[in-house]
């Protein structure tokens, strides 16, 4: 269709040019031109030898051999022929020129050809233009983007921090390179691989690296690209996508965010979605139906595997689930090595220290950290990215951007210093509490001050003592205000601390079974799937009024005990509280080395000089966990940089 339209337009242009040339082409010897009256006089005087009459044009030759030309008027002159014959003038008539058959045919059909060309042009546009996509007639065409084997440059060398996931998919590369290796032993490669993991862990990058290693075509599409407002369009796109893939086999089809089209059928509030369910049905048939799709491997990525339809995740369709989780400390170091290769580094940069201080960071987070460090260095007109810029970038991501322009009164500044000192002292003195990494009273994000705690190693669960210590440290800020300002001087800055402490205590009793009074029983159902026909739909357990009362009393008992324990610690270490508040007023930010000096009763040393970097102090934070962020406005919201693998508010990982 496209080639025919192009050829037709070309021939129309050529015909128009030729027609113009033929109409204007004539042999002109430039004869002398005279008016009609002079012509008649010369005829009557016998000066004209011969004439040729062609309509209104009269061309002739005089007796002396010269040529002439004249135009007779439209009025008839019946005496002209008599004068010509009387003066022995040779008269020749010229037959009127007739157009050729092809010329007349072209002129007659030219309007029709123009209309046909316009019609073909609009039909081509409706079908999506040169690429065949995007037009209103291309609803049923697949929107998958095809990357040929020479376009995919990503390999396993570009993927780090997920060694187990890479091992899982390496045999896919072997199969795509040499299928007979598996087929002669009766083995079949998985038809589908489902990559599961939190956002930013590299699922798409890993899928692209498979295509890059195997050197096969790579179709990429999002789950939302299948669904349209018209029922049946998504199913048509699925069919078209697999038809294209069969022509390119062996190849890889990558469907990102497959949960957009693969959710459980008939689940959810308000009934199902006919278009999405029809699309899912077609995908199920294409992956494991009567017609085999040899050489086509479907790789899908999602961070919500729990919402997928069971028919989609069964063996024969997505046979294998590859978990691409958050990287551990070694994985983070390798990921940093990949991203740090792209920027000029100073000699003081130590990726191992950055990896230790960023637990819970995904690959995307680490890439963002390196980029922020490069931006910091560019603002300072540095030629190299140093450890100082990387630390600043880490603090910005974990604690929020500094608001240096915010003006605080001396009273608010002193109150914030005591508040953060209360958090830090309780965290330093409570058993099994995460070490304090940094304390600052510089406003960051929506917080007036921040206290950062970093665990010594990656942690995936919490003990009862660790939770108790966290609750105590959360109340440290409020208690410090109460000790310095009195009961009536306590501010609203601890509102978010109280909220988080209450949630921890409630989860201990109702979810985690860490209360001897209530026993190892779950009293609160998980409400995360209330829109998928789960407990939120009315199927959850109901508690009696007596049980609810006991739960509330137990939560109150835990809170009161932690509050009293934290208060006693602060009262016993009031001198350290005052010293730390004074240090915060002086330096605004103090690190682990300065905190150690204060706890040991010494005057805190000056802030660290980045020019003499070593492996201690704030340059070597030993990981991340929780931050106490306090609102001067008393709002309950805060930007909580809690990036550890297990979130105590959601429950320890693995439990």
Q: Nearest 5°: phi and psi at 333?
A: -65, -40
Distance (Å, rounded) from C-alpha 607 to C-alpha 475?
Answer: 27
Tokens (6 digits) for 356: 């230790």
317: CB partners within 8 A, 6+ apart:
191, 192, 284, 287, 288, 311
Residue that has been written with the tokens 């024969």 in this structure: 316
Please state, in angstroms and rounded to a whole number, the distance separating the CA atoms of residues 378 and 312: 48
Distance (Å, rounded) from C-alpha 48 to C-alpha 59? 11
Measured distance CA(593)–CA(596) in Å, rounded:
5
- How far apart are the C-alpha atoms of 286 and 420, rounded to whole Å? 59
CB 604 within 8 A of CB 594: yes
CA–CA separation, 116 and 110 (whole Å): 10
Report the distance separating Cα 169 and Cα 283, nearest Å: 22
**191 three-state secondary structure:** coil
As a whole number of angstroms, the distance between CA 233 and CA 276 comes to 10
The C-alpha angle with vertex 395 and arms to 390 and 398, in degrees rounded to 5, equals: 120
C-beta of residue 423 within 8 angstroms of C-beta of residue 451: yes
Among residues 333, 420, 482, 631, the one annotated as catalytic is 420
**What's the CA gap between 485 and 118, in Å, rounded?**
83
What are the start-end ranges of the H helices in 515-573? Answer: 545-572
How many Cα atoms sit within 13 Å of 587 on the Cβ side?
A: 20
Q: To which residue do tokens 């949630």 refer?
A: 503
Find, among 598, 295, 232, the residue nearest to 439 by Cα: 598
420 carries an active-site annotation: yes
Please name the helix (run of DSSP H) or strand (run of DSSP E) that holds residue 454, with its range, or none: none
**Secondary structure of residue 62 in the 3-state scheme:** strand
Backbone dihedral region of 53: left (phi > 0), alpha (psi from -120 to 50 degrees) or beta?
A: beta
Longest dimension (CA), the chain: 147
Rounded (10°) CA dihedral 456, 399, 603, 621: 30
What residues contact residue 556 under an 8 Å CB cut-off, 6+ apart? none
Residues β-bridged to residue 438: 452, 591
What strands, in cross-sheet order, belong to the sheet with 626-630?
A: 589-591, 436-440, 449-453, 626-630
Active site residues: 420
């Amino acid at each position: 269709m496209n080639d025919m339209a192009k050829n037709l337009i070309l021939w129309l242009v050529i015909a128009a040019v030729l027609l113009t040339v033929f109409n204007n082409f004539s042999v002109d010897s430039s004869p002398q031109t005279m008016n009609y009256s002079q012509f008649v006089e010369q005829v009557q005087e016998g000066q004209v030898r011969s004439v040729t009459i062609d309509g209104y044009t009269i061309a002739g030759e005089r007796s002396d051999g010269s040529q002439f030309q004249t135009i007779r008027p439209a009025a008839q002159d019946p005496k002209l022929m008599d004068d010509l014959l009387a003066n022995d003038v040779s008269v020749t008539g010229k037959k009127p020129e007739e157009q050729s058959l092809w010329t007349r045919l072209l002129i007659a059909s030219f309007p029709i050809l123009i209309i046909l060309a316009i019609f073909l042009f609009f039909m081509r546009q409706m079908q999506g233009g040169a690429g065949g996509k995007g037009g209103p007639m291309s609803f049923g065409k697949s929107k998958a983007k095809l990357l040929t084997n020479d376009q995919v440059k990503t390999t396993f060398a570009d993927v780090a921090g997920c060694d187990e996931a890479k091992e899982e998919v390496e045999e896919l590369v072997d199969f795509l390179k040499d299928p007979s290796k598996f087929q002669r032993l009766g083995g079949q490669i998985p038809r589908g691989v489902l990559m599961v993991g939190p956002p930013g862990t590299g699922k798409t990058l890993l899928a692209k690296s498979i295509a890059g290693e195997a050197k096969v075509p790579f179709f990429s599409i999002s789950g939302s690209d299948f669904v349209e407002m018209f029922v049946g369009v998504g199913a048509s796109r699925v069919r078209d996508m697999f038809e294209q893939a069969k022509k390119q086999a062996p190849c890889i089809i990558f469907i990102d965010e497959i949960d957009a089209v693969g959710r459980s059928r008939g689940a959810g509030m308000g009934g199902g979605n006919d278009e999405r369910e029809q699309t899912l049905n077609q995908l199920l048939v294409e992956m494991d139906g009567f017609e085999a799709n040899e050489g086509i491997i479907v790789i899908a990525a999602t961070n919500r595997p729990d919402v997928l339809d069971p028919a989609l995740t069964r063996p024969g369709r997505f046979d294998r689930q590859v978990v691409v989780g958050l990287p551990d400390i070694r994985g983070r170091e390798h990921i940093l090595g990949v991203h740090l290769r792209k920027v000029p580094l100073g000699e003081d940069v130590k990726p191992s220290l950055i990896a230790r201080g960023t637990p819970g960071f995904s690959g995307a987070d680490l890439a963002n950290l390196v980029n922020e460090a490069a931006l910091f260095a560019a603002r300072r007109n540095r030629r190299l990215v140093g450890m100082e810029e990387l630390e600043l970038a880490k603090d910005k991501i974990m604690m929020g951007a500094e608001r240096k322009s915010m003006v605080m009164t001396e009273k608010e500044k002193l109150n914030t210093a005591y508040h953060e000192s209360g958090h830090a002292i309780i965290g330093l003195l409570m058993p099994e509490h995460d070490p304090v990494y940094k304390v600052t009273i510089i406003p960051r994000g929506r917080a007036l001050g921040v206290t950062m705690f970093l665990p010594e190693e990656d942690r995936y669960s919490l003990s009862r003592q660790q939770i108790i210590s966290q609750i105590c440290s959360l109340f440290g800020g409020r208690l410090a205000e109460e000790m310095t300002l009195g009961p009536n001087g306590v501010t609203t800055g601890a509102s978010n601390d109280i909220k988080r402490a209450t949630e921890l205590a409630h989860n201990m009793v109702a979810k985690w079974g860490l209360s001897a009074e209530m026993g190892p029983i779950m009293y609160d159902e998980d409400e995360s799937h209330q829109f998928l026909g789960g407990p939120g739909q009315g199927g959850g357990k109901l508690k009696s009024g007596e049980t609810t009362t006991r739960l509330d009393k137990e939560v109150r008992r835990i809170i009161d005990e932690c509050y009293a324990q934290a208060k006693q610690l602060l009262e016993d270490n009031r001198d350290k509280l005052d010293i730390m508040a004074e240090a915060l007023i002086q330096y605004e930010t103090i690190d682990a080395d300065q905190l150690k000096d204060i706890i040991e009763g010494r005057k805190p040393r000056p802030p660290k000089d980045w020019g003499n970097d070593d492996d201690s102090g704030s340059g070597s934070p030993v990981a991340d966990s929780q931050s106490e962020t306090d609102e001067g406005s008393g709002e309950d919201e805060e930007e909580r940089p809690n990036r550890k693998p297990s979130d105590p508010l959601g429950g320890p990982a693995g439990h």
